[in-house]
């Protein structure tokens, strides 16, 4: 059986375990610093397996040792920004947590592929690659599937068409400057721009960009986790089943789209070796301008990271 370890058994980590267990293609380990919590959640989930008829093993632990021999490591550990905390403070704290999670798990699973969810996403993926020294194929950030799924959900709400017919591609950094590519998006092959009026489409794009904030404002005490966790389960499945699935993910740029030495949301092919290739769209001038603006925002956070941790 494949083995997937999830570091951080909070809302996103535990929900990822849930989606993964339902898909029944891997045993799952939940690791967290909170004593008893990952063990309790794992035991509870394990006891749901007879009800849903799935044979996934799920264990919880406070020790990295439990992750030994994992095929995939998912990192969701981190803290949310607290009142009075600066962005740099948050960056420093999460960089410490993610850096340790990455290097400690690598000791037990030298062949693992990493999926990073902790925010600021692009920068935490960058940190994971630098700290582990792994090739870029094996460190992938989750963001684009989520952002694209939000746009797909909004398009479905607007049109009443099945979500399965709706293809949307939201690329770029995982932040306000993300790049929803409406020209490349379609409903069953019909360009989105031909299906939905310009003002409605603009509203959908704006809502997509603020998708994370909309949920934080509603929840008040946390951020989204069902959809981020589902996105992460889809990535893990595509990798372990060697599907060659093309999906928007954060990948290390080595000249693609004119970008270097940074993580950025682009369409990638996911297969058994991880991020197997980056797909390059032909962008028009407007799209290029959006890419550049988004890349500049990500670069800024990468630079801030270099000021708070040694890479
Ligand atoms: N090692 C392991 N787990 C840790 C560590 C650590 N050093 N530090 C914190 N954690 C755990 C916390 O104990 C908590 O259970 O990480 C978990 C984070 O869970 P939540 O607070 O519920 O946060 P969640 O909503 O899951 O978001 C986690 O994913 O989508 C991103 O922006 C989100 O960065 C955030 C991350």
96 with 169, same domain: the answer is no
**What are the tens digits of pLDDT across the range 74-106?**
999 999 877 777 878 889 999 999 999 999 999
Residue carrying the six token digits 């301008």: 289
pLDDT given at position 203? 98
Q: Ligand 1 atom 36: the closest Cα is on which residue?
A: 118
pLDDT in tens, 98-112: 999 999 999 999 999
Smallest CA-to-CA distance from 99 within 125, 79, 81 is with: 125
Full domain range(s) for residue 89: 2-141
pLDDT score at 127 = 98
Q: Could you tell me the distance, in angstroms and rounded to a whole number, from the CA of residue 256 to the centre of ligand 1?
A: 31
Say yes or no: 45 and 190 in one domain.
no
The pLDDT of residue 23 is 97
Cα separation, 233 vs 4, whole angstroms: 10
> Among this protein's residues, is 184 annotated catalytic?
no
Span from the CA of 13 to the centroid of ligand 1 (angstroms): 7
d(CA 8, CA 14): 8
CATH of the domain at 78: 3.40.50.720
In contact, 31 and 9? CB cutoff 8 Å: yes
Q: Are 81 and 42 in contact (CB under 8 A)?
A: no
Same-domain pairing of 128 and 273:
no
pLDDT tens for the 311 residues of the chain, in order = 999 999 999 999 999 999 999 999 999 999 999 999 999 999 999 999 999 999 999 999 999 999 999 999 999 999 987 777 787 888 999 999 999 999 999 999 999 999 999 999 999 999 999 999 999 999 999 999 999 999 999 999 999 999 999 999 999 999 889 999 999 999 999 999 999 999 999 999 999 999 999 999 999 998 999 999 999 999 999 999 999 999 999 999 999 999 999 999 999 999 999 999 999 999 999 999 999 999 999 999 999 999 999 88
Report CA(293)–ligand 1 centroid distance (Å). 29
**Ligand 1, atom nearest to 31 Cα:** 2
Mean pLDDT of the chain: 96
Q: Which residue has the tokens 């792994």?
A: 134
Asked which of 119, 141, 163 is the last residue of a domain, the reply is 141
148 and 26 within one domain: no
Spell out a b/e string for 135-169, using b for 16 or more CB atoms within 10 Å of the CB, else e: ebbbbbbbbbbbbbbbbbbbbbebeebeeeebbbb
pLDDT of residue 88: 83
Residues 32 and 92 in one domain: yes
Would you state the pLDDT for residue 86? Answer: 81
Q: At what angle do helices 144-159 and 226-240 cross, to 10 degrees?
A: 120
Q: Which two tokens stand for residue 113?
A: 């592929």
How many structural domains is the chain composed of?
2
Rg of the Cα atoms in the chain: 19
């Amino acid at each position: 059986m494949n083995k997937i370890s999830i570091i951080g058994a909070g809302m996103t980590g535990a929900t990822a375990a849930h989606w993964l267990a339902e898909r029944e293609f891997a045993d799952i380990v939940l690791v967290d610093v909170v004593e008893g919590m990952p063990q309790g959640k794992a035991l509870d989930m394990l006891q749901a397996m007879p009800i849903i008829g799935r044979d996934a093993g799920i264990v919880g632990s406070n020790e990295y040792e439990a992750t030994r021999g994992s095929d995939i490591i998912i990192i969701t550990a981190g803290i949310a920004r607290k009142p009075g905390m600066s962005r740099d403070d948050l960056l420093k704290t999460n960089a410490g947590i993610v850096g340790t999670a990455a290097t400690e798990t690598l000791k037990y699973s030298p062949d693992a592929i990493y999926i990073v969810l902790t925010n600021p996403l692009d920068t935490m993926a960058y940190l994971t690659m630098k700290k582990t020294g792994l090739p870029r194929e094996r460190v992938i950030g989750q963001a684009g599937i989520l952002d694209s799924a939000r746009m797909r959900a909004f398009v479905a709400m607007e049109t009443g068409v099945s979500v399965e017919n709706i293809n949307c591609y939201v690329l770029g950094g995982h932040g306000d400057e993300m790049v929803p590519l409406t020209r490349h998006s379609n409903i069953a092959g019909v360009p989105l721009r031909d299906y939905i009026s310009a003002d409605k489409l603009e509203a959908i794009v704006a809502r997509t960009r603020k998708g994370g904030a909309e949920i934080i404002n509603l929840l008040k005490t946390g951020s989204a986790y069902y959809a981020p966790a589902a996105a992460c389960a889809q990535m893990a499945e595509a990798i372990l089943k060697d599907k060659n699935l093309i999906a928007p993910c954060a990948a290390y740029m080595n000249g693609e789209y004119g970008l270097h030495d940074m993580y950025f949301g682009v369409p990638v092919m996911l297969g058994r070796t991880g991020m197997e290739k980056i797909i390059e769209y032909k962008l028009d001038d407007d799209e290029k301008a959006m890419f550049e603006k988004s890349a500049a925002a990500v670069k800024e956070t990468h630079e801030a990271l270099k000021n708070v941790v040694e890479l």
